[in-house]
Amino acid sequence: MEKSIVFELDDCIREMLELKEVDVNSYSPLVLAYIGDCIYDLIIKTMVISGGNKQVHKLHEETSTYVQASAQSLMMRAIQPCLSEEEHAVYRRGRNSRTVSPAKNQSITDYRRATGFEALIGYLYLKKEYHRILELVKTGLQNLSHDNQGDVTGLQP
């Protein structure tokens, strides 16, 4: 009987570039937020382009509504009750970290909560807990769609 093989992008990148494994707990919260921002952006862009071919400017505008700090802050508020103690601790570390750049057109509260959200996404990514990332993002997006009185996410509850 054949074993099914799951292709993981992270493993492929590490193997091809000969990168060493690093303990996820050794990363600072801002480094976790740095990679978490990229992963969340990729998820959102994948979701947005699944809506069909559009002008890049329109894709960018739609993506921006999901990746701005205020949207991430709302999502974080929705997913907080779903977090394990470990996940909540990572979120808190990210939220409480001193950021280098000031928030652009966002409240400091939203910006800090968004940083915690991104740190959590980065942490889960580095731990290869991809299903958990998508579970939390989907929950957060559903909260955004309820706030906007429509299914803006294209995801079914």
Q: What is the tens place of the pLDDT at every residue in 65-96?
A: 999 999 999 999 999 999 999 999 999 999 99
Q: Rounded CA gap, 47 and 43, in Å?
A: 6
- Angle CA(74)–CA(77)–CA(83) in degrees, nearest 5? 135
Question: Which residues of the chain carry a pLDDT beneath 70?
Answer: 1-7, 100, 102-103, 146-157
User: Catalytic positions, please?
Assistant: 37
pTM, two decimal places: 0.85
Task: Read off φ and ψ for residue 84, nearest 5 degrees.
Answer: -75, 170
Contact 117, 91 (CB under 8 A): yes
